[in-house]
Amino acid sequence: MAVYHQPGTVITDHSFQVPLDHADPGGEQIEIYAREVVAAGREREPLPWLLFLQGGPGSPSPRPLGRDSWLTRALDDYRVLLLDQRGTGRSSPVTRQTLPLRGDAAAQAEYLARFRADSIVRDCELIRRERLGDDIRWSLLGQSYGGFCTLTYLSFAPEGVREAFVTGGLPGLRSTAEDVYRAAYPRVERKVAEHYARYPGDAATVRAVVRHLREHEVRLPGGGLLTPAAFQSLGMMLGTSTGSHTLHYLLEDAFLPGVDGPSGPVLSDSFLTEAQSRLSLAGNPLFAVLHESIYSQRSVSPRCTGWAAERVRGEFPQFDADKALESDGPVLFTGEMTYPWMFTADPALAPLWEASRLLALREDWPDLYDPEQLAHNEVPVAAAIYHDDMYVDAVGSLTTARSVRSLRTWVTDEYEHDGLRVSGGQVLDRLIRLVRGEL
Active-site residue list: 144, 364, 417
Asked if residue 191 lies in contact with residue 199, where contact means CB atoms within 8 angstroms, the answer is no
Distance CA 54, CA 61 (A): 5
Rounded to whole angstroms, how far apart are CA atoms 207 and 184?
23
CB distance 131 to 83 below 8 Å: no
Distance CA 432, CA 438 (A): 9
Cβ contacts of residue 64 below 8 Å, gap of 6+?
6, 9, 11, 35, 37, 71, 82
- What dihedral do alpha carbons 85, 171, 144, 188 form, nearest 10°? 130
Other C-beta atoms within 10 Å of 285: how many?
Answer: 27
Angle between helices 177-198 and 201-215 (to 10 degrees): 120
One-character DSSP codes across 200-244 = THHHHHHHHHHHHHHHS--B-TTS-B--HHHHHGGGGGGGSTTHH
31 beta partners: 17
End-to-end, the C-alpha distance of the chain in Å comes to: 40
Between CA 291 and CA 160, with CA 395 as vertex, the angle to 5 degrees is: 65
437: left (phi over 0), alpha (psi -120 to 50) or beta: left
Cα angle 402, 418, 309 (rounded to 5 degrees) comes to 70
Instruction: Indicate the residue type of 176.
Output: T
One-letter-per-residue 3-state SS of 78-117: CEEEEEECCECCCCCECCCCCHHHHCCHHHHHHHHCCCCH
DSSP 364: -
